[in-house]
Every structure is written in C-alpha cells, then in structure tokens.
Amino acid sequence: MGFEQLASLRDELVKQAAAEKETKRQKKADDRTTVKKSGKVDPLLAVIGLLQKKFPLAFPKKPAAKVPLKIGIHKDILEQATELGTNKNELRAAIKAWCWGNRYWDCLTEDAVRVDLLGNAAGLVTKIDADQASKLKLGRKKKSQEVEAPSAEGA
C-alpha cells in the first residue's frame, strides 16, 4: 500500500469518524426532547406543550417569563379542545397548572397587559389581582417554611 493510498484511507476514516460523532450528537439531542426511559410523558405536560406550540405568545416556553392571561381565556381554549386533540378536562388541568404557581404570579403586577391566545392586549392586571397574587405567593412561602420548621426542630 502506497502513501497516497494511506492518505486517502486516513481521509476516509476522518470523514467517517466525523459522521459518527455528528450522529451521536444528534441522537443525544433527540433523546433530550423525546420521552423519558419509561416511555410515558406526563399528560399534563403534554397538554401544556400543545398550548405552547399552538399559542406561543400566550404560553411562552422557559426561560421566557409567563405573561398575564386574559380574564376568561379558559373559555377560548376550551372551544378549541377538538382542534388541539385533547379533552376539556385535560385542558382545564393544564390551565390550572399554568396559572397556579409563583412564576405566573410574578407576572401579575399592577397595570401589566393581559394577553389573549394570539398575544394581543386584552386588558390590564388590576391592583386587586396583583395583591391577590402577592398573597398567594406569601401563603405558599409560609406553608413551605412551616413544613421545614418541624423537621429542623426534630433534628
């Protein structure tokens, strides 16, 4: 085997190694976006994913901040249950999960713009709504401190 043949063989092996590396990289990326090893996705997360895909301005993906939703937006979403390929109970649960947490409550500041499904302005967050969100956050914080306190005393 001559030097020219060895050089072409080396080049061929380098290309093959690069292709294998790219294939592995792509497989890793695919694995991160597919189902966990159990083969099951939490149905709630699946429905939230549908909402994020269909209405990205109303249901932004992390790390983007959540936005205040229009009062009564659940009615608009429930009308599209068949189009989304899910049932109304799953949609209700997903909306509740989306709106029941610190990340959503953080966006409820006085005079923040509420949005409809297409991201259009649909009202403002009132002082009452902002205060309620603050109370909910404070209540959750107190509950978590109460849960931690007994374990600290028992130690």
Higher-scoring residue by pLDDT: 152, 9 = 9
Contact between 58 and 68 (Cβ < 8 Å)? no
Tokens of residue 22, six digits: 């790219």
User: Using CA atoms, how far apart are residues 100 and 88, in angstroms rounded to an integer?
Assistant: 18
Question: Residue 68, exposed/middle/buried by CB under 10 A (0-12, 13-18, 19+)?
Answer: buried
> What is the per-residue pLDDT for 77?
95
DSSP code, position 69 = B
Looking at the DSSP bridge assignments, the partners of residue 113 are: 124
Digit-coded pLDDT (tens) for 32-83: 555 444 567 788 999 999 999 999 999 999 899 999 999 999 999 999 999 9
CATH class of the domain at 43-150: mainly alpha
Residue matched to tokens 């978590």? 144
d(CA 62, CA 41): 18
Q: What Rg value do the Cα atoms of the chain yield, rounded?
A: 25
The token duo for 106 is: 């953080």
DSSP 119: S
Residue 100 is which amino acid? W
Model confidence pTM above 0.75: no
Q: For residue 54, what are the CA distances in angstroms to 15, 60, 105, 127, 136?
A: 40, 10, 23, 30, 29
Q: What is the pLDDT of residues 85-107, one digit of tens each?
A: 999 999 999 999 999 988 999 99
